[in-house]
A and B are shown apart, each in its own frame.
Chain A
Amino acid sequence: MTEQPIHLRIRRQDRPDSAPYWQEFTIPGHPDHNIVSLLMALRENPVTVSGERVDPIVWEHNCMEEVCGSCAMLINGVPRPSCSALVAELDQPIRLEPLPKFPVVRDLLVDRRRIDQGLKQVKAWIRIDGVWDTHEGAPRIGPDAWAADYLYSRCMSCGCCMAACPQFGPHSAFLGPAPLAQARLMNAHPTGRYDKTERLHAIMADGGLSDCGNAQNCVRVCPKEIPLTTAIGELGRQTTVQLLKDLFGPR
């Protein structure tokens, strides 16, 4: 395979509070480069098209197999993991920007702690007595239920769904699709359902489920094809039932 110059436009930002600016680079590469490997090549010799030597570009990456979720960014306007974004399938100049909606730390590196906060808010865990051996298995789960749950357990908190969501961002308290989908997953678990009421109350409050505008952007950009809107729909039904229970019934 022959090398061809690859043209990049990268939005840079030196500090969280400084103004962003653009830089352009051309670097020789193969079509089988992905964005992470291009950025790696670029940091060895970070010289712009105008010949100016600049600081190496800062971004986050780890597994580079689309499973750790760290390297997501905006590529030609679309939020996606950069490891699985092949140069050959992208129009040039390739435009790289930090994942929107999250605070920029530097260049393409963002702070996604809000996902974690959301997971805490919806109690996205199974409450167990302790991690010792209880000499007992857990309740059975049928293959159909497993198949449905497995889809949601693959969420790697990359934040693409949140970046694409018009309701999520610094302007709102909305939890965003990823934590909501985890609430659905935990509610479906035979032990996790013991805390279902608490989880539902958490998403019936401000920033919860009702803030979803049903734009469907999240499900379109999810790299793991997680049925996020299906989860949100299921939670909608669960909260309606919960509302009636809260009004009329014992909990």
Chain B
Amino acid sequence: MSTPNVIVIGGGLGGLWATLRIADAGFPITLFSLFEVKRSHSVCAQGGINAVLDTKGQHDSIRQHIIDTIKGGEYLANQPPVKAMCEDAPGLIHTFERMGVTFSRTPEGLLDQRLFGGVKNKRTCFAGASTGQQLLYGVDQQVRRLESEGKVVKHEWWEFLSLLLDADGVCRGIVAMDLNSLEVRAFTADAVVVASGGMGQLYAPKSTTSTNSTGAAASRCYRQGAWMANAEFFQFHPTAMMGHDKNRLMSEAARGEGGRIWVPKTPGDRRPPKTIPEAERFYFLEEFFPAYGNTVARDEAARAIWTVTRQMGLGIGGDGGDRVYLDLTHLDAAFIGARLGAILEIYRKFAGVDPMTEPMEIFPAAHYGMGGLWVDFERSADGGIQPDSPRNHATNIPGLYACGECDYAYHGANRLGANSLLSASYSGRVAGESVVSYLKGLAVDRGGLAPAIPQAEVACQQGINAELMRAEGADTPYLIQKELGALMTTKVGVVRSNPELTSALGEIQVLQERLGNARLGESSTWANQSLAFARQLGDMIELAAVVAQGALARDECRGAHYKPAFHIPIPEGTFAGDPEFEAYRDRWHANNAQWLKTTIAEHTRDGPKLSYQEVDLSVYAPTEPRDYR
């Protein structure tokens, strides 16, 4: 038997880490990416990466990191993988350091660590303000080294279209398309890792993600039987600067340093902001949350902005009036320049306006898909995950693995600042190790894939292309995506209600039908981006239905998913022991009994079929409601 080979789809932190681990074990790998891997969305992460190194004399502990992560995800994450991730984080950082990642340093040349959102200790390693970029380049350089040694083959500018499944439903390879020649070809493999990133483009342009973060690859796996989990949990960041192409993140630091959020009290007030007197401004965060004011938590701030713009009609800006001001102009210029230089620079560069003299215009933006492809794990005796188990990061399709933002694990990792880079890297490493175990366990006499299977799949995919090239309808895919983004932002966004979600599901169905009849407006078959985009859009619409369906079914407020109709507020002025508070505690427990579980979506011809799975709470079970008073 020849050496088993592996296909990795996606070259961000997850995909490159998986590649490195598999190559270390001596198995040949082919890496597929829509673009040169170093341009993956991982480069956009700025803040840092968490690991308890406890170098600041604060007695930080890994146990605390685990608990912070579990609470950050409101108990939705299976806890053994979270435990293992936090325990392995320091080793991961040291490996990055060995790769030459330019982490910021202390005066004595050690790794510096700083404080980050949601955490009490200095636990975040960082590389200036470009940590994601530096981490990605670290693994990119290692993969390039392996490529030069012949251990990795890269297929950049190739798009994954579908899985090759054998008669037993085992994943035996993929069908992919050369994005220049549009050649559709089958590639067999003994295992496949999907590391294709998030799906923020469902909300475009009100999303902070890259244009290639469409979720299409994950959606294609879903269509072929892979489960999607917790797709309704989408993290929105409250303060992103508006752009015609995308929203760009303005760090929470802007509010932390004294920035104030406001809108004019009069709807449609078109006066330049500086000319509107104080008395005619509505500082809504300060009014809604007197104790926290502008530094209220991410979710609360996003919802307040939503209320003011979408429900009270007080938003500013030309397109539908859904922006608010983030104002730094009252602050000392020298102070702001020193503390927020990087943000000011981004705003100046991309809006062409100086935020020290003019208030910034911001809106909540889709930032991170917390759900994704369902993946398994094997619990170890010590409560973490079993090292080298082939079950870790395996999807429900044998031979198919998932890691990075496209999988659903470590829920909450990304709600804690600087934990996303950790989960992307760690999950990639684990998926790689898991694949190696899977390959070692493969039967020696496993037969080849019947040639009819790839032939049929290639023909099927070519047929889809031919169909799209032929269509001559009224719409173009670009216009349909605009409508999808607006629909998702409005009805499946920050604040959700069942009537709106029901109507969204109907509209999503209509978009799918319209896409089937859209025209590409494109005559060339060479480097035809419209064709690739139209295909991705179909998969995005499929995913949008999963997100909306999951949100419709989940009648509660948990983490990033918020339905006011099912909100259980803490009764004001009451505390533990008061009958009213105890009644509230009972309701909270009852809600957990009903909803503290994982949403699983299975593809059917009639749309997503939902079911629920228990969450593994073996490390730190929820006993007390969160109470920030």
- Chain A positions within 8 Å of B, measured between CB atoms, are 1, 14-15, 29-34, 36-37, 40-41, 43-44, 46, 53, 55-56, 58, 60-70, 83-84, 86, 88-89, 105-106, 109, 112, 116, 119-120, 123-128, 130-138, 140-143, 146, 149-150, 153-154, 156-157, 185-186, 189, 191-192
Contact = CB atoms under 8 A, between A and B. Distances in A.
Interface string B519-557: 001111011011000000000000000000000000000
A67 to B, nearest CB: 5
Contacts of A63: 39, 41, 43-44, 210
B569 interface: no
A150 B131 CA distance: 11
Nearest to A155: B137
Contacts of A192: 100
Contact of A70 (B35, B133, B429): B35
A106 B527 contact: yes
B41 A43 contact: no
Residue among A14, A33, A65 facing the most chain B CB atoms (10 A cut-off): A65
Interface stretch (B91-99, B376-384, B408-416): B91-99
Interface string B231-260: 000000000000111101000000000000
B97 A62 contact: no
A83 B134 CA distance: 21
B128 interface: yes
B102 A153 contact: yes
Contacts of B350: 34, 65, 83-84, 86
A124 B478 CA distance: 39
9 contacts: A34-B244, A41-B244, A63-B44, A67-B130, A67-B133, A68-B39, A86-B350, A138-B97, A140-B109
A58 B529 contact: yes
A141 B524 contact: no
Contacts of A150: 102, 104, 127-128
Given A43-B478, A150-B102, A84 B210 contact: no
Contacts of A66: 349
Contacts of A154: 128, 130, 133
B20 A44 contact: no
A116 B35 CA distance: 13
B318 interface: yes
B211 A62 contact: yes
Contact of B180 (A105, A112, A132, A138): A105
Contact of B145 (A33, A69, A127, A156): A127
Contact of B43 (A29, A34, A68, A109): A68
Contacts of B479: 44
Given A58-B529, A109-B527, A64 B246 contact: yes
B105 interface: yes
B239 to A, nearest CB: 15
B490 interface: no
Interface string B9-43: 00000000100110010000000000110111101
Contact of A140 (B108, B180, B529): B108
A125 B144 contact: yes
Contacts of B502: none
B351 interface: yes
B97 A56 contact: no
Nearest to A61: B211
Interface string B244-283: 1110100000000000000000000000000000000000
Contact of A189 (B40, B100, B429, B521): B100
Given A156-B43, A157-B38, A134 B245 contact: no
A102 to B, nearest CB: 12
Nearest to A139: B109
Contacts of B523: 55
B41 A33 contact: no
Contacts of A53: 521
Given A106-B527, A131-B99, A143-B109, 16 more contacts: A33-B244, A37-B243, A41-B244, A55-B530, A56-B530, A58-B527, A62-B211, A67-B43, A67-B44, A70-B36, A131-B95, A131-B139, A131-B429, A153-B102, A154-B128, A157-B38
SS class of chain A's interface: helix, strand, loop or mixed? Answer: loop
B148 interface: yes
Interface residues of B, number: 73
Nearest to A152: B102
Contacts of A29: 244
Interface of B: 17, 20-21, 24, 35-36, 38-41, 43-44, 88, 91-92, 94-95, 97-102, 104-111, 127-128, 130, 133-134, 137, 139, 141-142, 144-145, 147-148, 180, 210-212, 243-246, 248, 318, 346, 349-353, 429, 476, 478-479, 482, 521-524, 526-527, 529-530
Nearest to A158: B39
Contacts of A125: 99-100, 141-142, 144-145
Given A44-B478, A65-B44, A89-B352, A141 B91 contact: no
Contacts of B133: 67, 154, 156
A61 B204 CA distance: 15
A86 B97 CA distance: 37
A55 to B, nearest CB: 5
A40 B245 contact: yes
Contacts of A36: 245
A5 B148 CA distance: 49
A120 B20 CA distance: 17
B41 A119 contact: no
Contacts of B521: 46, 53, 55-56
> Residue among B109, B139, B148 with the most chain A CB within 10 A?
B109
Given A40-B244, A116-B36, A134 B212 contact: no
Contacts of A130: 24
A120 to B, nearest CB: 5
A186 B100 contact: yes
B259 to A, nearest CB: 20
B210 A62 contact: yes
A135 B212 contact: no
A242 to B, nearest CB: 21
A149 B351 contact: no
A42 to B, nearest CB: 10
A136 B244 contact: no
B327 to A, nearest CB: 18
Point out which of A61, A70, A131 has the most chain B C-beta atoms below 10 A from its C-beta.
A131
A171 B94 CA distance: 43
B110 A112 contact: no
B244 A191 contact: no
B25 to A, nearest CB: 9
A131 B21 contact: yes
Nearest 8 interchain pairs by C-beta: A140-B109, A133-B91, A37-B244, A37-B245, A125-B141, A126-B100, A106-B527, A138-B97
Contacts of B144: 116, 119-120, 124-125
Interface centre among B98, B108, B128, B482 (most CB of A within 10 A): B98
A127 B146 CA distance: 10
Contacts of A138: 94, 97-98
